[in-house]
């Protein structure tokens, strides 16, 4: 009987382990997806801004309006795009101390047999 109970308890612990690992795997997958989507959104935005800047350069060149004011404007736009690109690589991870895996406890009742083997003074 005791062996059967131990086996059942071990099975419960094994199942808890499997469930906990699956939760961690799912969380890790969710976080990877967030990073990929965030970076892709940023890349798309930067690409759109570069394309826009490129069109502005072409237009300025076409109209033969290449002057200091336009050059400074384009330079400022390029600096802003570069800063955004550099900031997109500053994604970081912060650990949260809250548990998302249920902890288990092993409750071992005190046995009367053990108590009877000791003498209390």
Over its length of 121 residues, how does the chain's per-residue pLDDT go in tens digits? Answer: 666 667 888 999 999 999 999 999 999 999 999 999 998 998 899 999 999 999 999 998 899 888 999 999 999 999 999 988 888 778 888 887 777 778 888 888 876 544 444 433 3
Nearest-5° Cα angle at 81, 75 to 85: 140
Domains in the chain: boundaries = 2-86
CB 99 within 8 A of CB 60: no
Q: Give the pLDDT of residue 33.
A: 96
- pTM across the whole model: 0.65
Q: How far is CA 2 from CA 7, 112, 119, in A?
A: 9, 16, 27
DSSP output for 67-83: -HHHHHHHHHHHHHHHH
Q: Give the pLDDT of residue 11.
A: 93
Q: Give the pLDDT of residue 2.
A: 64
CB 94 within 8 A of CB 17: no
């Amino acid at each position: 009987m005791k062996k059967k109970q131990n086996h059942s308890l071990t099975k419960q612990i094994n199942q808890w382990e499997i469930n906990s690992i699956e939760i961690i795997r799912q969380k890790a997958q969710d976080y990877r997806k967030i990073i990929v989507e965030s970076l892709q959104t940023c890349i798309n935005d930067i690409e759109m801004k570069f394309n826009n800047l490129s069109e502005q350069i072409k237009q300025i060149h076409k109209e033969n309006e290449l002057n200091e004011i336009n050059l400074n404007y384009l330079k400022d736009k390029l600096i802003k795009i570069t800063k955004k690109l550099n900031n997109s690589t500053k994604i970081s991870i912060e650990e949260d101390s809250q548990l998302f895996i249920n902890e288990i406890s092993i409750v071992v009742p005190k046995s009367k047999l053990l108590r009877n083997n000791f003498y209390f003074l």
